[in-house]
Amino acid sequence: MLGRAALRGALAGLAGTAAMTLSEKIEQQVTHRPDSYVPGRTLTALTTGRRLPERARPPVRNHLMHWGTGALVGALRGVWSATGLRGWRASAWHTSVRLATDQTLENATGVGSPPWTWSRQDRIVDVGGKAVYSFVTGAVADLLVPLAPDRRASDGAAHHARDLWR
């Protein structure tokens, strides 16, 4: 059951990644912020042990890391949905998991820098994008993943994601 929940959560994570990507593209139209290749440089550092220069733009690895991380962290959200961690509160907590995952990998490889060294705009953009990801991922996961039988209400009433988002 948890394996199916993780798989459905990974699909939800891909939906969340698509929403985050779209929101970032809209934001970039307004702010004129360039694309970030930190995910691709992070994946390169994780898989090869070498750091690419900051000017490097590895597009294939960028997409692999961006979408792969979205699916992986989405799998966790699917398991949360199955075990009763649902709704907007779970999605708010999930935002911190997504942020922590990215920051841990980026800073452990030396590719990223701690958020407190970023500009205020960069922090807002990053947290905002990860919140879009987590809330879309959570909404989709809560719809796709049934609550585990042992987590259902004792009176036998079915739990529906739409009720939990109120």
Q: Is 164 exposed, middle or buried (0-12, 13-18, 19+ CB in 10 A)?
A: middle
Q: Is 103 exposed, middle or buried (0-12, 13-18, 19+ CB in 10 A)?
A: middle
Q: Is 93 exposed, middle or buried (0-12, 13-18, 19+ CB in 10 A)?
A: middle
pLDDT for position 153: 61
pLDDT in tens, 80-120: 999 999 999 999 999 999 999 999 999 999 999 999 999 99
Residue 124, pLDDT > 80, answer yes
Give the chain's mean pLDDT: 91
pTM of this prediction?
Answer: 0.88
Helices (H), 83-119: 87-108
Share of the chain above pLDDT 70, in %: 92
Token pair listed for 37: 């290749």
pLDDT band at 163 (very low <50, low <70, confident <90, very high): low
Mean pLDDT of 51-80: 94
Token pair listed for 20: 């985050």
CA distance to 106, 141, 160, per residue, from 77 (Å): 21, 7, 16
Residue 69, pLDDT > 70, answer yes
pLDDT in tens, 38-64: 999 999 999 999 999 888 888 899 999
Angle at 17 between CA 137 and CA 33, to 5 degrees: 130
Mean pLDDT of 57-81: 96
pLDDT for position 53: 86
Q: Which residue has the tokens 């079915």?
A: 158
What residue type is 11 in one-letter code?
L
